[in-house]
Structure 1
Amino acid sequence: MIVLEIKQNQAGQRLDKFLGKFLPEAPAGFFYKMLRKKNITLNGKKAEGREVLRQEDQVTLWLADETILKFGGFLLPPQSADPGNRKQTESELLYSRAYEKLQGITVIYEDAHVLILGKSAGMLTQQARTGDLSLNEWMVGYLLHSEALAPSELRLFRPSVCNRLDRNTSGLVLCGKSLPGSQALSELIRSRALRKFYRTLCVGRLGADVPGTATEIRGYLQKDSRTNRVTIGSQPPGEYIRTAYRPLRHFYIPADSRSLCFTEVEVELITGKTHQIRAHLASMGHPLVGDCKYGDARINHIFLQKFGLAWQLLHACRLEFPSLEETALTTLSGRIIQAPLPEYYEAIVGELDNPGTWEF
């Protein structure tokens, strides 16, 4: 017999789904048979499997240890067991290694359900292949290290990032610490109720339809999986996309002429598709500075030589949450979360503001 108490990060899922995670090799029919016979109960009572679990619910499995192990489950250690003597799993070792080795990650915001991190350029948000160290592994390692998450809980719920940034884009990444948090964040992103803003520097003079306001542009995005590039068209086929931009200031090099111009822009990502900001602005003739896929090779070479910039200058700077009631995100209701600009970004913009020393 084993008793499983539902933790905050496991609440919000159906009982049968929870059982499927605890005993992953058991057929679905096994659970319903055990529920009918009351060999599996919820809070000491007969259950059907469709019940939505709440924090502190107790799921009791009146099953032999051999049956639990046969179906891929695990036995809870006795209360007196020394956790220091427990051998770490391969996954736990990966999380620990990511937490120890990855640099340039900042905890911007944290509560019981949500973690908002700031990542540096050059870091994967999620694994591209098995064994990669990414922000996602660092985040789980951080939760294990801070004891916000117990190793035994990883079988029943695994925290994860909820939005992705390109490897060479810096800034804010949303993570679900609990199942309710992950579900609420995913719905917020899906419904586009969460507003996501970026700062970037693009080539050329980008103007607004109305000075000082944001201009919305639309199009259709098609991805070539072979080259991992996207193209933007004004008509289908493709995924419909919406991007809004607001020019902040213009820079001219040299300062007394208009031979070379750059625009610092705030961009709102209304629909979030692959390379959307980079490709959308490039399709208008204003590629991002440093962008190797969609950018201007001559301009990129100048910024590489002068600043060592080998990636697109794009930073996820701000998240604006709507009013929220009775969800795992109530502590974020109406809040604005910001990530400071990277030092190299500020240094580049500072140099553009004083271009007297520039040489070509």
Structure 2
Amino acid sequence: MAISSLRFGSIGRNVLILATCQGLLFSINTVFVLVSGLVGASLAPDPVLATVPLGLFIAGAALSTYPASLLMGRIGRRPGFLIGASFGFYGGVLGAWALSIGSFGLLCFTGLVMGVYFAFGSYYRFAIADVVTGKLKRHAVSIVLAGGVMSGVVGPYSADWSRDLLAPQTFMASYAVVSALAYLKLLLLAFIDIPTPRKVDKQRTGRPLGEIIRQPRFIVAAIAGMLSWAAMNQLMVAAPIAMHICALPFSDAAFVIQWHNFAMFLPGFFAGALANRFGVYNVMLWGTVMLLGAVVAVVSGIDLWNFWWAGFLVGTGWCFLFVSATIVITECCAVQEQSKTQGFNDFLVFFAQAFGTFGTGALLHLLGWSSVGYTLLPIIILTAGATIWLSIREGTLAPQIRSS
């Protein structure tokens, strides 16, 4: 299914804009994560604290994702996305300021601000589902997520190119790139056309949240989403630091991140078709197999290609798990239940990321690179088991699309 399959006009424009913004979202995230882990290591009073700014980045997203969803449920997607992009712009400014004065505390605060930016941007995939229905929705969601493929070029290249642009302040220009890309998003988001929630929709809240999240589908989809992000974050936050410790050059780290980003998003162009053809639960299971492969790559050695395979496989696994989880979440709730359901789901996802990211620095410095992989095994097995259980419970690996 190509973008041309989506009828043009408002829907086609929305898909292209949101896919482009998805690419910019992860380009900015790539620059921030790739740079801030190393900057954190240089500014932190103890190397164990190097990933704290990145942990706060995820914590900021976790704390703001539910309010962001409720806010957009009231004021609409476009105003909410513009607010989020503004946080990205000012986050880049704060990062450059923190580096210029050598303040680890300010770098940590920058992580929180960037987390708010990321929380709003994480709803691009749900925004397109607001205006597309039926099987076409699965393709639209996967195409928007696949837009992140541009981050495989823009993110690592921008970080590497800007590294010494404002020497002797290494990486200061990289934070300026963050602000520039966020400003570009502001310009693009002014043109999306997604209806503002109607008053009647605001007055109807649907089922209680507790009833929605007790659905087996929701539980398994939430677990899959949490695993995809926790595994991806834990490995890729640690990878640049581990490569630096192993005396591999920064260009190698950028190379690994570049191919990791390609692996995250290229499968998104056909993940929706795979979900329709083979079932979302099969796609989830394929994702867990990819993550197991990433763990094998991590524990097998510390050469460049160990890092490359780990990044590539965790990226592919993330795509299969996250696309399929997103599809199931959109089919678990009615229109008037979307804000609270999506907000709670993303809170769980970001909480899982934060939990892993805060501990990554300690794992890496106290137990070594292989421990970053071994600690993922229990949740990979849990996710695979839960997916198989749900498929047996429903009697199919290809659940029918819920009528809206």
Structure 1 length-normalised TM: 0.26
Q: Which has the higher helix share?
A: 2
Structure 2 length-normalised TM: 0.24
Higher RCO structure (Cα 8 Å, ≥6 apart):
2
* Larger Rg, first or second structure (1 or 2): 1
Q: Which has the higher strand share?
A: 1
